[in-house]
Amino acid sequence: ANFQKLNIPKRLLDILFKQHDDLYIDPFECDKLSGGEGLVNLMLFFFENYNLFDVFLIKPKVVRGYFEEVMKGYHDNPYHNKVHAQDVAQTCNFLISKCKFIEIGQLDEQDIACVLIAGAIHDYGHPGLTNAFLINSRNELALTYNDQSVLEMFHPSQCFKIAWGNQKVNIFENLQFQKYRRIRESIILMVLSTDMAHHASELAITNSRIAAPDFEPNGKDKQRLMDLIVHSSDVSNPTKSFEIYKQWTEKVLTEFWLQGDKERELGLPISYLCNRYTTNTAEAQVGFIDYVVKPTFACILGFLPAYEPFFQNLDKNKAKWQELIEYYKQQLASIQPK
Ligand code: 8BR
Ligand code: ZN
Ligand code: ZN
């Protein structure tokens, strides 16, 4: 492999050599070290690391150009921004590489490309508002996608349009027709699986597949597991170090509370977790861990035994939030709704 030709900033490259598959890499640091171009440089690193330039039959210049465009489409939301995208792509790599899904699913280079690209594009163009808000406010996007997985339909749709709208950045240009169709289908399925509305039902099906006598992680169940890899990475903040996790939590709630302010102003129902005057940050995280993240990563553990040493982070972080519940209660008591 020749990483030199990629023009990745030296200090970021040093980190990626050591930590590209590490759960504890600092995503904010990576973004800073590359002058806000973490997402582009991470994807270039992965393309070289996994030989993906040969899968797509393209030059690094095209890949750089494509992810520059993807990166520009991420708005500067408190949470749903390019650093979240970079973090999800990197966490996908942790799960496939360090936790060995590449071996267990017998992923080929094409599968690896699909997972990492899905992670990178999965929140493209996110407006910082949830599907519920877009539907309730009769937003143009909800009208376009008939209230069905509105954002999750929008993100990949826009990202395929970027490629086909400009030959200079079209990473799909040289793929043979059938190969392109399979790659496109796989990426779209993974991004659609990040709609939290499908979380419980899909997790139940995946758990029953893992327990079935004909479970085939490297065959007919592979795509379903790839979907879970991307969805898990999307909700993986509580599995990280508490220091990083706390920063993401503040960001996601800042974004939710701005939405709540809008809902209040418009006379719309204030969505769950979006009321800044009643949402206890620590309590919300304990619930998120118990009802969403722990069941998700328990499922991961069902087919990736190498994940085991990281699973306990969830209980450690939950205990830390539990100690903070009283503090946040007092904080809430001291602020008055207008
Ligand atoms: P998206 O990134 O696709 O929005 O999916 C993650 C969802 O998990 C968030 O929209 C939010 O509903 C929920 N969530 C909660 Br609650 N706490 C979170 C946290 N600390 N980090 C990320 N997501 C969180
Ligand atoms: Zn999303
Ligand atoms: Zn996301």
If you take atom 16 of ligand 1, which residue's CA is the nearest one? 288
What is the predicted pLDDT for the residue at 101? 98
Cα torsion through 86, 91, 97, 103, rounded to 10: -120
Write the CA distances from 202 to 100, 208, 287, 296, integer angstroms. Answer: 22, 10, 20, 10
What is the predicted pLDDT for the residue at 195? 98
Average pLDDT by stretches of 10, the chain with 338 residues: 94 96 97 96 98 97 98 98 98 98 98 98 98 98 98 98 98 98 98 98 98 98 98 98 98 98 97 98 98 98 98 98 98 86
Q: Is the pTM of this model over 0.80?
A: yes
Greatest pairwise CA separation for the chain in angstroms: 62
For residue 160 the two structure tokens come to 């395929």
How far, in Å, CA of 275 to CA of 270, rounded? 6
**Ligand that lies nearest to the alpha carbon of residue 191, given by its number in the listed order:** 2
Cβ–Cβ under 8 Å, residues 123 and 85? yes
CA 252 to centroid of ligand 2, rounded, Å? 12
- For residue 239, give the nearest of 309, 137, 141, 142 by alpha carbon: 309
Sign, CA dihedral 268-269-272-275, equals positive
Q: Is 194 close to ligand 1, i.e. is its CB under 6 Å away?
A: yes
What is the predicted pLDDT for the residue at 338? 61
80 is catalytic: yes
* Assembly ipTM: 0.93
Q: Is 196 close to ligand 1, i.e. is its CB under 6 Å away?
A: yes
How far, in Å, CA of 252 to CA of 7, rounded? 32
What is the predicted pLDDT for the residue at 326? 98
At residue 193, what are phi and psi to the nearest 5 degrees? -70, -10
Distance from the first to the final alpha carbon of the chain: 59
Catalytic residue among 20, 75, 80, 199: 80
Q: Is 288 close to ligand 1, i.e. is its CB under 6 Å away?
A: yes
Cβ–Cβ under 8 Å, residues 46 and 116? yes
Cα torsion through 115, 139, 287, 290, rounded to 10: -30
Cβ–Cβ under 8 Å, residues 229 and 92? yes
Q: b vs e for 171-193, b when ≥16 Cβ sit within 10 Å of the residue's Cβ?
A: bbeebeeeeeeebbebbbbbbbb
Sign, CA dihedral 22-24-25-27, equals positive
How far, in Å, CA of 267 to CA of 84, rounded? 30
